[in-house]
Amino acid sequence: MPILDRILAAIDRLFLVGANAALLAMLVVTALNIASRALFEQGLMWAFPISIVCFVWMTFLGFFVVYRQNKDITVDFLLNAMPAPARLAGRMLVDIAVIAFLLILLREAPELIQRQVGNIEMVGLQRYWLSIPFFVSCALIALHFLSDLVHALRGHAPREHHPVGDI
């Protein structure tokens, strides 16, 4: 699993950069729109659609990063109060449940993508390009939980966040 963990860590870093780039693009487009309104008394018609696309991509790229870096919200005080074997069983049950849910979602992905037809006005992209990062993140999160399940089965402690070079 060390190879999978390294690959996931590298993708985590790449997705973090991508999410930040989308945020920066939103900032630049919004600043240009504000400047255009101030200087020319006319806004940029394409600013809002591009900002929406960047926001969606930022969110979906960040989806994987949140789970990978253990920044998600968990309610595990009951699990933490249990003896070690019960914590291990709970951890494995959560891993299996998340993997199962994501596999069901990914099984439906091709049909969902086919339903997303038409161009995004003023951006020129097909609508399905909005959801591609979501499904990629779902697949990566499933691999992340699979890795955690294997680590749990081997008796390893839950993974803490590690920068790319530290795994």
pLDDT at 9: 96
Asked whether the predicted pLDDT for residue 81 surpasses 70, the reply is yes
User: Is residue 163 included in any domain, yes or no?
Assistant: no
Q: How far, CA to CA in Å, does 95 sit from each of 108, 120, 137, 146?
A: 20, 36, 16, 7
User: Is residue 164 included in any domain, yes or no?
Assistant: no
CB 121 within 8 A of CB 46: no
User: Is residue 167 included in any domain, yes or no?
Assistant: no
CB 116 within 8 A of CB 126: yes
pTM over 0.75: yes
Confidence tier at 19 by pLDDT (50, 70, 90):
very high
User: Is residue 141 included in any domain, yes or no?
Assistant: yes
Instruction: For residues 5 and 25, give the distance between their C-alpha atoms in angstroms, rounded to a whole number.
Output: 30
How many degrees, rounded to 5, is the angle at CA 84 between CA 80 and CA 90?
65
Confidence tier at 76 by pLDDT (50, 70, 90):
confident
**pLDDT (average), residues 155-163:** 73
By CB neighbour count within 10 A (0-12 exposed, 13-18 middle, 19+ buried), where does 73 fall? exposed
Q: How far, CA to CA in Å, does 32 sit from each of 55, 119, 121, 140?
A: 17, 24, 19, 35
Asked whether the predicted pLDDT for residue 164 surpasses 60, the reply is no
How many degrees, rounded to 5, is the angle at CA 161 between CA 14 and CA 64?
45
User: Is residue 21 included in any domain, yes or no?
Assistant: yes
**What mean pLDDT is reported for the chain?**
92
| Residue span of the structural domain in which 71 resides | 2-158
Instruction: For residues 123 and 47, give the distance between their C-alpha atoms in angstroms, rounded to a whole number.
Output: 9
User: Is residue 165 included in any domain, yes or no?
Assistant: no
**pLDDT (average), residues 25-32:** 98
User: Is residue 50 included in any domain, yes or no?
Assistant: yes
**pLDDT (average), residues 3-22:** 97
**pLDDT (average), residues 91-104:** 97
**How many structural domains does the chain have?**
1
126 pairs with which residues across the strands? Answer: 119
